[in-house]
Amino acid sequence: MKPGSHDSSQNFQTVLQARFPRRTFLQYAAGAGTATLWGALPGCSSELQPHTHDTLSGAAPAWQFDTVPQGLDTRLTLPDGYDYQVLLRWGDPLFPDSAKFDPLQQTGEKQARQFGFNNDYVGFLPLPLGSDNSEHGLLTINHEHTKARLMHPGIRSEGQLDQEQTRVDIAAHGLSVIEVKKQQSGWQVVKGSDYTRRITPDTPMQLTGAAAGHPWLQTQHSEDGIATLGTYGNCAGGITPWGTILTAEENFDKYFSGDVDKLAQKDNFRRYGFSGEQEKNWSQYEERWDLNKHPGEAFHMGWIVEIDPYDPNSVPKKRTGLGRFKHEGANVTIAPDGRAVAYSGDDEKFEYVYRFVSRDTYKPGNDNASRAHNMQLLENGVLSVARFSENGTLSWLPLVHGKGPLTVKNGFNNQAEVLLNTRKAADLLGATPMDRPEDVDINPVSGKVYVMLTKNDSRQPDALNGPNPRAYNRGGQIIELLPPESSAQQRDHCADEFRWEVLLLAGKPEPHNAQNVTFYHPDTDENGWLACPDNCAFDTQGNIWVTTDGAEDFGVADGVWWVVAEGEKRGYAQRFMRAPVGAEVCGPCFTPDNRSFFCAIQHPGGDSNFDQPDTRWPDYAAELPPRPALIVVTQTR
Nearer to ligand FEO, 329 or 625 (CB): 329
DSSP, collapsed to helix, strand or coil, labels residue 505 as strand
Q: Nearest 5°: phi and psi at 381?
A: 170, -170
Closest CA to 118 of 549, 585, 602, 598: 602
Report the partner that residue 169 touches, choosing among Ca ion, ligand FEO, none (CB closer than 5 to 8 A by kind).
none
Three-point CA angle 180, 182, 183, nearest 5°: 125
- What is the radius of gyration, based on Cα positions, of the chain? 23
DSSP annotation of 435 reads B
Nearer to Ca ion, 138 or 235 (CB): 235
- 563 neighbors 529 (Cβ within 8 angstroms): no
Contact 503, 480 (CB under 8 A): yes
Contact with ligand FEO (CB under 6 A): which of 169, 250, 351, 480? Answer: 250
- Considering beta carbons, is residue 308 or 549 the nearer one to ligand FEO? 549
In contact, 480 and 450? CB cutoff 8 Å: yes
C-alpha 531/C-alpha 553 separation (Å) is 9
Shortest reach from residue 129's CB to ligand FEO, in Å = 29
Nearer Cβ to ligand FEO (158/417)? 158
Cβ atoms of 394 and 481 closer than 8 Å: yes
> H/E element holding 123?
strand 119-126
435 contributes a contact to Ca ion by CB under 5 A = no
Binding at 144: pick from Ca ion, ligand FEO, none (beta carbon under 5-8 Å per type): ligand FEO
Q: Is 134 exposed, middle or buried (0-12, 13-18, 19+ CB in 10 A)?
A: middle
Instruction: Rule CB under 5 A: choose which of 16, 171, 235, 503 binds Ca ion.
Output: 235
304-307 and 317-319 strand pairing? antiparallel
Interacting partner of 250 out of ligand FEO, Ca ion, none (Cβ under 5 to 8 A depending on kind): ligand FEO
Give the nearest distance from C-beta 250 to ligand FEO in angstroms: 5
Size of the site for ligand FEO (CB under 6 A): 6
**CA torsion angle 329 238 474 512 (round to 10):** 140
Residues whose CB falls within 8 Å of the CB of residue 476, separated by 6 or more in sequence, listed in order:
435, 436, 452, 453, 454, 455, 506, 507, 531, 532, 533, 550
* Least distance between Ca ion and beta carbon 436 (Å): 9
Judged by CB under 6 A, the chain residues 293 through 352 that form the site for ligand FEO are 328, 347
Count of other CB atoms within 10 angstroms of residue 241: 13
For position 549 contacting Ca ion by CB under 5 A, the verdict is yes
Report the residue number, 144 or 614, with the smaller CB distance to ligand FEO: 144
If one asks whether residue 44 binds Ca ion (CB under 5 A), the answer comes out as: no
**Which residue from 181, 150, 180, 148 is spatially nearest to 165, judged by alpha carbons?**
148
Share of the chain residues as helix, strand and coil, in percent rounded to the nearest 5: 15, 30, 55
Q: Tell me the closest approach of the beta carbon of residue 329 to Ca ion, in angstroms.
A: 7
Q: Smallest distance from the beta carbon of 292 to ligand FEO, in angstroms?
A: 27
Nearer to Ca ion, 428 or 532 (CB): 532
Judged by beta carbon, residue 21 or residue 433, the one nearer ligand FEO is 433
Find the shortest distance in angstroms from Cβ 436 to ligand FEO: 7
The entry of ligand FEO, Ca ion, none that residue 544 binds, CB within 5 to 8 Å by partner kind? none
DSSP 412-481: --SHHHHHHTHHHHHHHHTPPP-B-EEEEEE-TTT--EEEEE--BTT--GGG-BTTB--TTBSS-EEEEE
Subset of residues 16 to 45 that bind ligand FEO, contact rule: CB under 6 A: none
Among 27, 125, 144, 212, binds ligand FEO (CB under 6 A): 144
614 touching Ca ion, by CB under 5 A: no
Q: What are phi and psi of 517, to 5 degrees?
A: -55, 135
Report the residue from 179, 297, 534, 614 that binds Ca ion according to the rule CB under 5 A.
534
How many residues are present in the chain? 637
State the nearest-atom distance from the C-beta of 586 to ligand FEO, in Å. 8
Question: Which residue stretch of 127-135, 461-469, 521-529, 533-541 sits at the interface with Ca ion (rule: CB under 5 A)?
Answer: 533-541
* 501 binds ligand FEO, rule: CB under 6 A: no
Nearer to ligand FEO, 24 or 247 (CB): 247
With respect to ligand FEO, which residue has the nearer C-beta, 438 or 539?
A: 438
Question: Under the criterion CB under 5 A, does residue 297 sit at the interface with Ca ion?
Answer: no
Q: Which is nearer to ligand FEO, 306 or 439 (CB)?
A: 439
Question: What stretch of H or E contains 370?
Answer: helix 368-374
253 binds ligand FEO (CB under 6 A): no
For 514, phi then psi, to 5°, come to -60, -30
* Distance from C-alpha of 61 to C-alpha of 532, rounded to nearest angstrom: 22
Interface map 414-453 toward ligand FEO (x if CB under 6 A): ------------------------x---------------
In terms of CB distance, is 144 or 158 closer to ligand FEO? 144
Q: How many CB atoms lie within 10 A of CB 304?
A: 28
CB of 40 to ligand FEO, least distance (A): 33
The minimum distance between CB 454 and Ca ion, in angstroms, equals 8
**Interface positions with ligand FEO (CB under 6 A):** 144, 235, 250, 328, 347, 438
**Interface positions with Ca ion (CB under 5 A):** 235, 438, 534, 549
